[in-house]
């Protein structure tokens, strides 16, 4: 059973804007069906300090949001600056992807996510609509992927 999170009308509008921009129909429908989540939003003083607490086991997504974000940004800007496509497993708070997509070399970021409740919460908090609309940010729900999908996906440009 999930936690009933109360979102403001503005946050609900933002969620709908993100949902509309999502081209993945299966994920779109799955996200619309979620009414509550085991994740609790934890906001720090900094705008980038957005963490999620898993209320089922009282663990946090990040130990130190800002340090982990900076560490990941440094790694990707150092080693993968010119890569046209980046792949990630896990959506997290999504801030890393927004930051990385400011680099025009990164044409697509593909995120595989097992627990779409994370996406559901973050779609209420951050605007990903431009990145989603332009397919610069693509989110794939791991439970709905099959061999046919991977075969098609992996044989299409620029993903192979």
The answer to whether residues 26 and 139 touch, using CB atoms and an 8 Å cutoff, is no
What is the average pLDDT across 28-39? 95
Closest C-alpha to 32, from 143, 127, 123, 132: 123
| E strands present in 5-143 | 39-43, 50-54, 59-60, 85-89, 108-113, 137-141
Q: What is the pLDDT of residues 92-103, one digit of tens each?
A: 999 999 999 999
Which strands make up the sheet holding 59-60, listed edge to edge? 39-43, 50-54, 59-60
pLDDT band, residue 4 (cuts 50/70/90): low
pLDDT of residue 142: 84
pLDDT at 144: 76
Please check the confidence at residue 160 and state whether its pLDDT lies above 60: no
Spell out the domains of the chain, with CATH numbers in brackets: 9-154 (3.40.50)
Res. 153 pLDDT band, cuts 50 70 90: low
DSSP, residue by residue, 30-70 = HHHH---BSEEEEE-SSTT-EEEEETTTTEES-SSHHHHHH
Nearest residue to 14 via CA among 123, 93, 121:
123
H/E stretch holding 17: helix 9-21
């Amino acid at each position: 059973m999930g936690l009933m999170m109360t979102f403001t009308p503005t946050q609900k509008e933002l969620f709908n804007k993100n949902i509309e921009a999502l081209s993945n129909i299966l994920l779109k429908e799955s996200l619309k069906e979620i009414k509550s989540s085991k994740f609790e939003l934890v906001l720090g003083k900094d705008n980038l300090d957005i963490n999620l607490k898993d209320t089922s086991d009282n663990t946090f997504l990040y130990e130190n949001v800002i340090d982990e974000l900076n560490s990941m940004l440094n790694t990707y800007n150092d080693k993968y600056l010119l890569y046209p496509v980046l792949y990630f497993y896990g959506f997290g708070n999504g801030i890393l992807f927004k930051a990385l997509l400011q680099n025009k070399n990164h044409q697509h970021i593909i995120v595989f996510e097992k627990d779409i409740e994370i996406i559901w919460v973050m779609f209420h908090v951050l605007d990903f609509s431009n990145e989603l609309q332009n397919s610069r940010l693509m989110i794939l729900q791991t439970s709905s992927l099959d061999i046919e999908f991977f075969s098609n996906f992996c044989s299409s440009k620029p993903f192979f």
